[in-house]
Structure 1
């Protein structure tokens, strides 16, 4: 009995305190101490969001210096949930090489930068992917003048590629399994990489198909000089990335995406949302925050989903505003009931 009393205080300790009392080697590998990212964002009054530096359709400053694009709009959508105002976003341009460091160090709260969800990134970097905002894949672009119409014609080619990216690994695997040779031209700066391709330093330019389409669209009248080859050689599920440790924040980011997709399913847009106020559809009433406490469950107010749509738009609106102009077909990013892969869980 005396021995039981000796150990009883430890048994009554909360799990979090008990784990802190264990030596480091006895704690489960990969456990990240909890943190209040939401609280830090709200105390600051601003969401720091990392995006690519100057990619047409995704993240590029307009003539007034205001950042526009797919990634920017999704950053704004998250801000509308966490802070109640989509304008409370500080856009931070990041490179392929330093994007994860910026997130790990706390320089940014969220990474929305065409980043592929992989096991190694989620398991070893202390990061979490909160969903898939876009289904993409690695592709190749050549100059039309080369006469190359298939990736099979790239045997012996020089290929411009960003170092440290999933693309670099995908291309090496593709050429090896296809019994073809290539010479990589590794350039970290995206503008320098594209300039090398334009100047003829490499025969082909490779990255995600969405980024290739964005590059071609940015060339204006010269776009016809570039051909996007038909092969897509990898799966690239792109998603928002956060630091591990605050699952309330994880839920907010994940369900921001799902809310935008659900609104499209329900036919709710930024232009017609007010016409749904009298709807008797229970799902719509929950979405608008007129029934249930979904927002309270997330740690925000019940009008969170409606606010996303009013301030930013649904998934289709954001796509048409940013991606359609660069000439990339929505394809697998259509809703599940329209032949695509986007399938939001029920909001109930």
Structure 2
């Protein structure tokens, strides 16, 4: 009986170890992953008119929090954060462009919803930014609450979750609404500045970026205190390519883990010899996690070295807008960002 028990235990141990060995050396076709690697460049779709999140300057240089998402993926894949071709997207074309394969990943102001995952063949890899829909109004109107917008004309863009949230909020509160649906940010800006609409609604991050883009007139507008929806915004990929999904997901977690470990672009080299086993695994000194993902074992170190940890990215891109980090802080600081362990 003892001998039989030992044999059974050995068989079970072998079976349980099998998947781990298979994962350590990923094989088989992975359409997007293989295409990106063969091309030597990531094609990343993102907005181009959101200061602090995604903008392009007159020389073609891209900056912003969502742009850094693209850069982290490239750093993980190639060890070079610059190997990205950015494709400007709009609210109307962003998801079709991803579905058709025009872009490898969408990193923009896109809300994670059930319908988008269940019916469009797409999958969100995580949350870059926890947001909520709000309202921007002209200060001179004297409006201090969204409940005072009964009968208002509200500017809203099509092709987003914003329209439904707006209608739901006004219906729920028995308020009259005149929506003014406008497609582009430029047209919205003109409508807001000329008084064609009493308020503009979208996620508060986009509203903050929009107000910053008004330049000298930014002080004439205020954000109302109400948040009327949940808007978890994150990268999106096509379903059916697990290796690509894994890489994009963990490239998103790496800056958060680095912040959790206290690793920054400035102290990275010193931390390479840190005896903490978790840090050693994260930085690729042990564990072979890069091999599991199909990239170099120092993939996370490359992200921190070239793009920075989550706090560095926030301070560089979003803090100048005056937007508080709030729910986007680490879980250890009362926020919602809770990266799974790298082990």
Taking structure 2 as the reference length, what is the TM-score of the superposition? Answer: 0.90
> Equivalences for 1:1-348 in 2 at 5 Å?
35-348=30-343
Contact 2:30 2:242 in 1 (8 A): no
More off after superposition, 234-243 vs 58-67:
58-67
Contact 1:217 1:327 in 2 (8 A): no
CA distance in 2, matches of 1:198, 1:93: 25
CA distance in 1 between counterparts of 2:213 and 2:322 reads 11
Q: What's the CA shift for 1:219?
A: 2.2
Correspondence for 1:12: none
Give the paired residue count. 315
What corresponds to 2:9 in structure 1? none
Residue aligned with 1:48, SS: strand
* Matched position secondary structure for 2:46: strand
**Structure 2 unaligned blocks of 5 or more:** 1-28
Cα deviations by residue, 1:217-257 (Å, 9 ceiling, x for unpaired): 22233221001000000000011000111100100011011
Q: 1: CA distance between counterparts of 2:308 and 2:274? A: 19
Alpha-carbon shift at residue 62 of structure 1 (Å): 2.6
2-structure distance, mates of 1:109, 1:151 = 38
Structure 2 residue matching 1:140: 3-state secondary structure: strand
Q: Distance in 2 between matches of 1:87 and 1:231?
A: 39
8 Å contact kept, 2:48–2:56: no
Partners of 1:339 and 1:111 lie apart in 2 by: 28
Partner Cα separation in structure 1 for residue 212 and residue 107 of structure 2: 21
Q: Which moved more, 1:189-198 or 1:98-107?
A: 189-198
The alignment's C-alpha RMSD in Å is 1.0
Secondary structure of the structure 1 residue equivalent to 2:202: strand
Distance in 1, matches of 2:262 and 2:59, equals 33
How far did 1:63 drift?
A: 4.2
* C-alpha separation in 1, matches of 2:98 and 2:30: 14
Q: Helix, strand or coil for the counterpart of 2:49?
A: coil
Residue 35 (structure 1) shift: 4.7
1:188 Cα deviation from its structure 2 partner: 1.1
